[in-house]
């Protein structure tokens, strides 16, 4: 399908600067774009590509002011990144045929219920007393255990596993290989130097508009619930331990590990490979750089931290400068010690 700049601007509620009748039929990165494609510019470090791109249309922020002549037609929008995401969503809807119906062989327990426009792929398993809403998509080889609830417009991709008694809200996406509701890591030492498993009798609750990445794991609570609040986004290979609570709209990059009973505030942002120790509380808006390690409470809201253990970003940056100069500092210290020793001999 082809769209003109004017049509796209109407859809995005933006303003056209240039040829409003120029047409595009695909999207591309600004540095790789060809004629007939649409790109976007949100990060200032890519601005140089704007003046050489072959894209026919480029989305830019309302606040952007080009420093040179731009050949492409520009569409000014409040947030170019979000606008581009909206267009990608529209493109995706036209690319993929909607899945409907029950494929065979699959298993749905007679007590399970589901709404209209449901898809259950081949070799999927739906357990006893499962309740699914409308437009739920369960892809092949996914598993939904007994007594689970799944709200409207949820997607479980191939190989996703939802253990018994877990509750999913609406508009949730669970990617392939993700496991929701496995046992929390609970073992009590005994007199014989062995460990006795502590039964994990809680569940996992995931609220609306959350997305769980491929091969991520969210453990059930020992008692009560592990809670992923509304709008949380977890990248691939993230581990959430038992009784953790993650606040609304928090986002977490790949390979993060959150230990048991951690409480994370809303609107937090975590880089990749972060680690948080058990029973720690993080304030609203906390930002953690990649590979950060947190072992105590973060009380101040909207803190930006990095390092292991974490410290304020500015202090961490200063310490990194000293660390890089450490060989020179050691050499100077050795020279001073040698000079001092010679003075003592005299």
Distance CA 37, CA 261 (A): 48
Counting runs of H as helices and runs of E as strands, what totals does the chain give?
A: 5, 40
- Triad 177, 180, 182: Cα angle to 5°: 105
The 8-class DSSP code of residue 178 comes to -
Distance CA 50, CA 74 (A): 10
Answer yes or no: are the C-beta atoms of 84 and 65 closer than 8 Å. Answer: no
- Non-local (6+) Cβ contacts of 305 within 8 A are 286, 287, 288, 289, 292, 294, 298, 311, 312, 313, 316
Distance CA 136, CA 130 (A): 12
Catalytic residue numbers read 242
Q: Is 200 helix (H, G, I), strand (E, B) or coil?
A: coil
Question: Can you point out the beta strands (E) in 151-286?
Answer: 155-156, 161-162, 167-168, 173-174, 179-182, 187-189, 195-197, 203-206, 211-212, 217-219, 225-228, 233-234, 239-240, 245-246, 251-252, 257-258, 263-264, 269-270, 275-276, 281-282
| Cβ atoms < 10 Å from Cβ of 49 | 17
Answer yes or no: are the C-beta atoms of 218 and 179 closer than 8 Å. Answer: yes
Using CA atoms in the order 151, 154, 158, 161, what is the torsion angle rounded to 10 degrees?
A: -40
Residue 194: both structure tokens together = 């062995």
């Amino acid at each position: 399908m082809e769209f003109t700049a004017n049509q796209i601007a109407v859809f995005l509620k933006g303003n056209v600067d240039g040829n409003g009748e120029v047409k595009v039929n695909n999207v591309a990165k600004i540095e790789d774009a060809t004629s007939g494609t649409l790109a976007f510019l949100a990060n200032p470090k890519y601005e140089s590509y704007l003046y050489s791109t072959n894209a026919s249309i480029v989305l830019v922020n309302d606040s952007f002011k080009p420093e040179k002549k731009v050949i492409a037609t520009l569409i000014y929008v409040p947030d170019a990144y979000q606008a581009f995401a909206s267009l990608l969503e529209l493109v995706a809807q036209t690319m993929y045929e909607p899945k409907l119906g029950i494929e065979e062989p699959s298993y749905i327990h007679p007590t399970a219920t589901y709404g209209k426009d449901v898809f259950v792929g081949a070799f999927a398993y739906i357990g006893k007393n499962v309740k699914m809403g409308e437009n739920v998509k369960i892809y092949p080889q996914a598993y939904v255990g007994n007594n689970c609830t799944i709200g409207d417009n949820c997607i479980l991709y191939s190989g996703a596993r939802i253990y018994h008694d877990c509750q999913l809200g609406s508009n949730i996406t669970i990617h392939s290989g993700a496991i929701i509701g496995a046992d929390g890591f609970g073992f009590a030492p005994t007199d014989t130097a062995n460990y006795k498993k502590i039964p994990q009798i809680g569940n996992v609750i995931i609220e609306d508009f959350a997305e769980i990445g491929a091969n991520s794991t969210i453990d059930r609570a020992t008692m009560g619930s592990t809670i992923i609040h509304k709008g949380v986004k977890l990248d691939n290979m993230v581990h959430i331990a038992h009784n953790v609570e993650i606040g609304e709209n928090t986002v977490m990059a790949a390979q993060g590990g959150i230990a048991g009973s951690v409480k994370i505030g809303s609107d937090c942002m975590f880089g990749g490979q972060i680690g948080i120790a058990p029973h720690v509380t993080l304030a609203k808006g906390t930002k953690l750089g990649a590979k950060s390690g947190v072992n105590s409470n973060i009380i101040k809201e909207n803190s930006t931290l990095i390092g292991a253990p974490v410290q304020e970003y500015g202090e961490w940056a200063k310490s990194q400068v000293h660390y890089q100069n450490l060989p020179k500092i050691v050499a100077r210290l050795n020279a001073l010690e040698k000079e001092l020793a010679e003075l003592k001999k005299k």
